[in-house]
Amino acid sequence: MEQTLQQAASINKVLAKRPLIISGPCSAETEEQILATASQLAATGKVDILRAGIWKPRTRPGSFEGVGTKGLPWLQKAKELTGLPVAVEVATGKQVEDALHFGVDVLWIGARTTVNPFSVQDVADALKGVDVPVLIKNPINPDLELWIGAAERVAKAGIKNIGLIHRGFSSYGNTEYRNAPMWHLAIEMKRRFPEMIMINDPSHICGRRDILQEVAQKAIDLDFDGLIIESHIDPDNAWSDAKQQITPEVLGSMMDTMIWRKEDIISEELHIQMDKMRAQINQLDDELLQLLGQRMKVADKIGQYKKDNNITILQTNRWNAILERAFVKGGQLGLSQEFITKYFDAVHMESINHQNKIMNS
Ligand code: PEP
Ligand code: MN
C-alpha cells in the first residue's frame, strides 16, 4: 500500500511538469523495439513519459491489433532501463487490471472508447479503489458531451488525477488533417475544466509528419499543458500509423526548435504593459456590447413595424446588402471575410430571434 502511495505521488509530480512531453511508438511491436525507443527517447532528455499501444482498436479487422498482454513486461523493462514512467491505452476493465498488474503508471482512454459509455463505464468500474492517473482522449466525433461524460464516469470511480488529450475529430471530406483539430472544442473543455491538464496529440491530428510541428506549436501557443507525440526507431516500417511517426532523434530536435511560451509573464514592466492593453480590450468589449444592445433595440423596433404591417422577418435582399457593405468596410479595417461572415451570422440570428419574439407576442 505504502509503495502504491509513493508511486502515485511520484507520477503525479511527473504529470505536473510543464510542458509535459509523452512520446513512444503507436504500438509496442517487439521487446527490442520498445527498449531501443525508450533509451533513445530518454537520451534526448526531452521526454517525461513513455507511451505505447498494447491493445490497438482498429477500424478494420486484419490490421495489426497490438501484441496484447505479452508486451506489458517489455514496458516494465523499459521503465527499469530508463526510469521513464509508462502509459498505455485501455479499453476494457480487463485491460485496466492487466496494465496495473504490470505497474503501468498512466492509463489513457482512446478516442474510439470515449464514444462508448458502456466501455468507459467498464474501464471506470475497474478503476475503483485505484490511484492511477487517467488521460481521456476526445471522442472521434465532435461531441463535447461524450468527452465530459467519460471524464465524469472516471471521476465517479474515484480517480483524482484526470487529464484530457485533444487528438482531433473525424470530419467528412477533410484532407489536410487525419482528424480535424476543431481547436474551439478543446478550448471550451479547457475553459470548463481548468483543473484537468490538456495535452495535444499532433500525431493523430496530422496523420503525417510534415505538419506535426506546426500543430504542436499552435497547441503550445494556446497554452496547452503538453504534447503526446508518436515516435518509432524506424517510422516507415512501423506496424501501425507509419506515416505520422518520427524518430526519437527528430522528436528531440523538434522539442529544441519549438517556441515555449509562458502563460504568466514574469517581468514587472511586461505585467504593467499587458494590464494596460487588457484594460483597453475590456473597455472596447464593453462598448461593443453596448452597441450590440442598441442594435437589438433597433431590431426590436423594426420587428414591431414589420408586425404592424404584416411583413416577413427575413428579407434576403436587405441581408445581402448588409453583408456586402460589411465586407467592404471590414476589409478596409483588416477584418477577414470569414470573420465578417461569422460575426454577422451571429448578429443576424440574434436579431431574428428578437424580431421573432416581438412578432409572435
Ligand atoms: C493511439 O494513441 O495510438 C490511438 C489509437 O489514438 P486515438 O485513440 O486518438 O485514435
Ligand atoms: Mn497511433
pTM of the model: 0.84
Question: What are the pocket residues of ligand 1 if the criterion is a CB atom closer than 6 Å to any ligand atom?
Answer: 26, 53, 89, 110-112, 137, 167, 204
Positions of E strands within the chain: 20-24, 49-51, 86-89, 106-109, 134-137, 162-166, 197-200, 226-230
Mean pLDDT of 294-308: 92
Q: Dihedral through CA 81, CA 82, CA 83, CA 85, nearest 10?
A: -100
Mean per-residue pLDDT over the chain, rounded: 94
Rounded to the nearest 5°, which phi and psi values hold at 99?
-60, -45
Mean per-residue pLDDT, 281-299: 95
Surrounding residues of ion ligand 2, Cβ less than 5 A: 26, 241
| Cβ-contact 17, 46 below 8 angstroms | no
Spatial distance between the Cα atoms of 263 and 20, rounded to a whole number of angstroms:
15
CA of 153 to the centre of ligand 2 (A): 24
For ligand 1, atom 2, the nearest C-alpha belongs to: 26
Task: Note the pLDDT tens digit of each residue in 158-179.
Answer: 999 999 999 999 988 767 999 9
Instruction: Kindly tell me if the per-residue pLDDT of 263 is higher than 80.
Output: no
Residue nearest ligand 1's atom 1 by CA? 26
**What count of other Cβ atoms lies within 10 Å of the Cβ of residue 190?**
18
**Whole-number pLDDT of residue 1:** 44
Question: Residue 54: what pLDDT?
Answer: 98
* Cell representation of residue 189: 473543455
